[in-house]
Amino acid sequence: MKILALSIPNHHFFQWINQLETSGHEVFWMDITDAGVSPKIPWVHQISGWRLKSDFPGRTRLKSALPAVYNIIQKFNERPVIGQLQKIIEQIQPDCIHCFEMKLTGVPFQKLWDNTQIPIIYSSWGSDLFDYQNLGLSRAQVKAFLYSVAYLITDCQRDYQIARQLGYPGKFLGVLPGNGGIDYPSEFIQPLSKRKHIIVKGYDDGVGQALHVVKAIEASDMLQNGKFEYVIYSADQNVIDYCNHSKTLQSMPIQIIRRGDFLENKALLKIMGTSLLHVAVSTSDGMPNSLLEAMGMGAFPIQSNPGGATQEVIENGVNGLIIENPMDVNEIRRAMESVIENHDVLQRAMEKNVAFMALQYERTTLRPVIQSLYQTLSNSS
């Protein structure tokens, strides 16, 4: 079977596609940003170099020095994406087209979808369906795209229900993590007695609300007692600035890993395996892969619940705590204080979560499941 995948060069996409390496399917990838060939999926037919008519000498320097001039030139130097995709489809003749995310790889190509008989698979990620209006899409655009989709995959049950409410008429292939599953290195999963970290997801971009978590830590004597070391990963600049200007936080053992800095996923999992808590709040999301990673590594999750997605894996007060208002510093502080020294709750949650995640989200377990999805399409074509 020939599969044409459309996506940006995203870690979760690479992880998903690598689940197909032993499937026997022939996989092609069109990076819609045309950022170049990726070494993360060397076995895939990667389509690159399609965007520019001419990669003229000094182009990169011109882009940096005179961006306004560069943008004018690029209006004439760039080939239209939709036309290039049409040519690629005609050349490859794929058996299916898999769109990873809607705003960038689905809606912009609606004219093509309206005139093709090739089955479209759509993987909904994060806020894709839940918050499409704030992502700049209209209800009419979303409904039109969903009507073109033959097969839907979501990362939470919530988004399947949203798709149905929007009139999705096709087949639902199930709820699966956007990265195709997680490797949980058991050697990194430490017992409770050796867990000293509190790990915080540092997104604060209008959707992520990490600054409220930082302020909750700053406001709590219990969280500053010297027993814990903090790691703030994928931290946005405003979070870094706040920490650097707070005398209280400056006196605490806090490691900050800037958003965009390379952190090997295995290194992050290792930190999670030594963490008591994993705290992440946002106003919009799907099923966060970071949440699934932290739970599988034994860190007690304290997580926001936009649209009810988080409650699909967290039973509030049992194997984690749900934050109802991600903007409420006091709610976040009280949640962290309520469990940080409650070893019985932490131990029971760790045992439950490690076992459940290994059963439901472990990568080798999901590999045949994901491969069989495409096989089902092949058998029905």
Quickly name the fold that domain 186-360 has.
Answer: Rossmann fold (3.40.50)
What's the rounded Cα separation, in Å, for the pair 298 and 353? 6
Quickly name the fold that domain 2-180+363-380 has.
Answer: Rossmann fold (3.40.50)
Equal CATH topology for 2-180+363-380 and 186-360: yes
- The pLDDT value given to residue 64: 78
Indicate the domain borders of the chain: 2-180+363-380, 186-360
- The pLDDT value given to residue 112: 96
What's the rounded Cα separation, in Å, for the pair 108 and 82? 8
Is 0.85 topped by the overall pTM? yes
- The pLDDT value given to residue 263: 85
- The pLDDT value given to residue 67: 76
**190, 192, 158, 162: which is closest to 175 by C-alpha?**
158
> Residue 56 corresponds to which tokens in the numbers above?
């003229």
What's the rounded Cα separation, in Å, for the pair 36 and 268? 26
pLDDT per position in the chain (381 positions), as tens? 999 999 999 999 999 999 999 999 999 999 999 988 999 999 999 998 887 766 667 767 767 776 776 677 767 667 788 999 999 999 999 999 999 999 999 999 999 999 999 999 999 988 899 999 989 999 999 999 999 999 999 999 999 999 999 999 999 999 999 999 999 999 999 999 999 999 999 999 989 999 999 999 999 999 988 889 999 999 999 999 999 999 999 999 999 999 988 888 899 999 999 999 999 999 988 899 999 999 999 999 999 999 899 999 999 999 999 999 999 999 999 999 999 999 999 999 999 999 999 999 999 999 999 999 988 776 665
- The pLDDT value given to residue 159: 95
**DSSP E strand stretches across 133-228:** 151-154, 171-175, 197-201
201 close to 208: Cβ distance less than 8 angstroms: yes
What's the rounded Cα separation, in Å, for the pair 11 and 64? 27
- The pLDDT value given to residue 62: 64
